[in-house]
A and B are shown apart, each in its own frame.
Chain A
Amino acid sequence: MTKLLLIGFKDLKLMFRDRAALILILLAPFLLTLGMGLVTGRFSGNSGSGISDIPIVIVNLDKASLGDALVEVFNSDDLAELVEPTLSDDPEAARRLVDEDEVTAAIIIPAGFTQSVIPQNGNNAANEEVKIEFYSNPSRPTSAGIIKAILDGFMSRLDEMRLSGMTSISQLIISGRISPQDANRAGEEMGARLQQAGDLSEATAIKLNASTSEGEAVEFDLLSYFAPSMALMFLMYTVSYGGRSILAEKAEGTLPRLLISPTNSLQVLGGKVFGIFLTGAAQMLILIGASTLFFQLRWGDPLSVLLLVLAAVFGATGWGMLITALARTPAQIGSVGSAVMLIFAMLGGSFVSLDNLPALVQTVGKITPNAWAMDGFTTLALGGPLSTLSTPLLALLTMGILLFLVSALLFGKKNLAQK
C-alpha cells in the first residue's frame, strides 16, 4: 500500500513540474472561465448573473388567474433587472420575434390554462392537459435557460399546489366532511385562496434566489456553471494525460524498472491510477480555490463539493484508464484523449446547458462524468444540500467502478514489462 501511495505522489510531483501540462490543466480552464466571465459581464460590476434585461415576449391567451399570475411573475420587482418582458396577443408574431432574434424566448399561455388546472363552475375540464409553450432562441442558450428555469419553477409549484389540493379534497371526501358532489366547489375555493395568498409568484423566486441552509439568499451566477464546466473539461485532459504517462513510462523504461524492483504489478498499476486520481483531484480543488478567491464564486457546501469532486475525478479516471488500456502508444492516448475531452465537454453540457440540448443528446450525455458532475455542481451552487447529490454521486461511482473493471481486463492482456 505504501508503495502504491509513493508512486501516486511521485506522479503528482512530476505533473506539477511539467510546465506544458500545468498550462493545460490549470491555466487553460482558469483563463477560459475568466473569459466566460468577461463575455457575460460577470466582472463589469453587475453583481447578478452577468446577464440582464433578457428580452422575452409573453402571450397570455388564458386571460384568467394563473395566466395572469405568470405574467405577474415576469413583471415582478425581483426579476426587474433580469427580464424585460413585453406582452403580445399574437402567438405567431411572438414566435417570429424569436426567429428574428429580437427576443430570447416567447412564452405562450394557451386559452383555458387556468381552467385545466383549476376546474371552475362545475366544468370538469381538469383532465385535459393544456401546456404552456416555451419557444426559445437556440442562439441564446444561457439566457433562454434562465427563462426556462423561471418558468419551470412556476410550473413545479403549480404542480405541487394541484397535488396538495387534490390530496386535501380526497381526504375531505374520505372523512365525510364534504360530499363528492361538493368536490369541485371545494377545489375552486382552495385554488382561489392559494392564488390570493400569492404563493405562485413567491415560489418562482426559488430558482433564482434559492436559499442556503442558513436561509441566506444565493444568486444564480453564470460562473457557477462555467467554472465547473471548464474544470471538468480539462479534467478529462488530465486523466488521459495521466493514462498516457503509463505508456510513456513503459517506453522510457521506468515502468519495467519498477516491475524489476520488489514491487508487484498491482502496486505499480494501482500507484499509477492513484497518481492520476490525485492529480485530477488536485486540479479540480485548485481551480475551485482559485475561482473562489479571484471570482468570489460560491460553490456551495464545502464537504459536498469535496465529495462531488472526488466522485467526478473517480469517474473521469475510469475513462482515462479505459483510453489507456485501449491505446498502444502514448501518442494515441494524446489524440484520442483530446477528442474525448471535447466530445465529453459537448455531450456533458460544458459549452451549452444540457437542458437546451435535444433529448437524445441529454441521454447520451449521461455516459460522461461531465454531465453528472455538472448536475451536482449546479445543484450545490444553488444552495442544494448533500442529500441532493445522491444520484450524481452514485452515477459517477458506478461509472468509475465499471470502467475500472473493463480496463483491468484489458490491461491483463497488455504486456507492461515489454518496452
Chain B
Amino acid sequence: MSNILESKNLAKSYGDFTAVKGITFDIKEGEIFSLLGPNGAGKTTTISMLSTLYAPTSGDATIGGHSVTKDPMAVKRVIGVVPQDLALYEDLTAKENLVFWGQMYGLGGKSLNSRVDEVLEQIGLTDKAKNRVKTYSGGMKRRVNIGVGLLHKPRLLFMDEPTVGIDPQSRRAILDTVKDLNKQGMTVLYTTHYMEEAAELSNRVGIIDHGELIALGTQDELTKQVGETETLTLHIGENEDPDALAKALNGVEGVQKADVTDHEVSVITADAKDILAAVVSKANERGIKIRSIDIREPNLEAVFLHLTGRALRD
C-alpha cells in the first residue's frame, strides 16, 4: 500500500510554547490510523496543520502527493475534516447545512442533491433532514458534523475526537460509521484519548504526548513494548471511593500502578492472578465493595502508562 500522508518533522510553536515538536509519521492508503493521547497532547494542532488550517512553524507534510505548505488548495480537495467541536449552522436544517458545505467543496446541481441524500441516509437523518440543527440531540448533531466531512467523498478523512461528550449509543453508531467508511475504501486519521476506540478501530496507532510522537505501530507492536503486563479493572459501587482504593492498592506487592478512570480502578500488574486475592483483601480492609473484576491482556493504556508514567486520562 502507498502512503497517502507523509509527515516530516511537523512542528508548531506559539511564542515560547511548542505545541507539536516535529512529528514524523505516515499513513497508508486504506488504513485507519489513530493518534492516541491525552487532552492537550497536540492532536488537534497536528490535524489543524495537516488540514492546512495552521501553517507549521517547521517541517512539512504531503497528502496525496501535495505539500500542505506549498499546495494547500490541492490538499483541501483530497481531505475531509470532522472537527472536534460541532461546526454547523444551527439555524439551518441538516439538509441546508449539507447543501451549503457541499457547495463549498465545489459540488452542485443534481450531483449535490443526490450526494446530500446519500449522506443523510448514511448518518440516519433522512426523516429529520428538514429540521433545524438546533432542535437535534447532541448525538444527531455529531452525525451531521460527520456527514459534512463525507460529502465530497474525500480520500483521507480526519476525525478529531468525534465521540467526545455524547451518549454511548451515538458513540457506538459513530464507531460503526468509521468502520463502514474504511470498508468502502476511505483512509481515516482518527484522534482520540479513549484507548478503547483506538484499539477497536485502528490498524496502527501513534501515541502522542506533550507534542511528541512517543510510540508508533500496530497494537501488537506497541503492547510488546511494555512486556507481558495485564490490567485488572475493579468496578465498585457508586458510593464507594475509588481514589482511596487506588491509593491503597498502589502499596500492594505486585501492583505496578493503580489508577482511577471513570469511577473504576485500573491496576497494572505482571500477573493478575497473583495479586487478585491481595487486591480483594485490601478493598475489604477499606470497607469498599467490589461489584465485579475484569482481567485484560496488555493494552494501549498500559503502553501509555509505561512510556509516560501517567494514565492516559490524567
Contacts and interface: CB of A to CB of B under 8 A. Distances in A.
A10 B99 CA distance: 11
A3 B104 contact: yes
Interface stretch (B31-39, B77-85, B284-292): B77-85
B135 interface: no
Given A253-B83, A417-B53, A261 B89 contact: no
Contacts of B76: 260-262
B54 interface: yes
Interface string B100-112: 1101111000000
A173 B48 CA distance: 85
A402 interface: no
Contacts of A261: 76, 101, 104-105
Interface in A380-418: 417-418
A418 B87 CA distance: 14
Contact of A262 (B87, B92, B100, B105): B105
Interface residues of B, number: 27
Interface stretch (A11-19, A288-296, A324-332, A371-379): A11-19
Contacts of A160: none
B197 to A, nearest CB: 22
A10 B86 contact: no
Contacts of B96: 13
Interface in A228-276: 252-254, 256-264
Contacts of B48: 417
A6 interface: yes
A260 B53 contact: yes
B103 A3 contact: yes
A365 to B, nearest CB: 37
Contacts of A263: 104
B73 interface: yes
A10 B89 contact: yes
Contacts of B73: 262, 264
Contacts of B305: none
A90 B88 CA distance: 74
A257 B48 CA distance: 10
Contacts of B54: 417-418
B91 interface: yes
B51 interface: yes
A18 B91 contact: yes
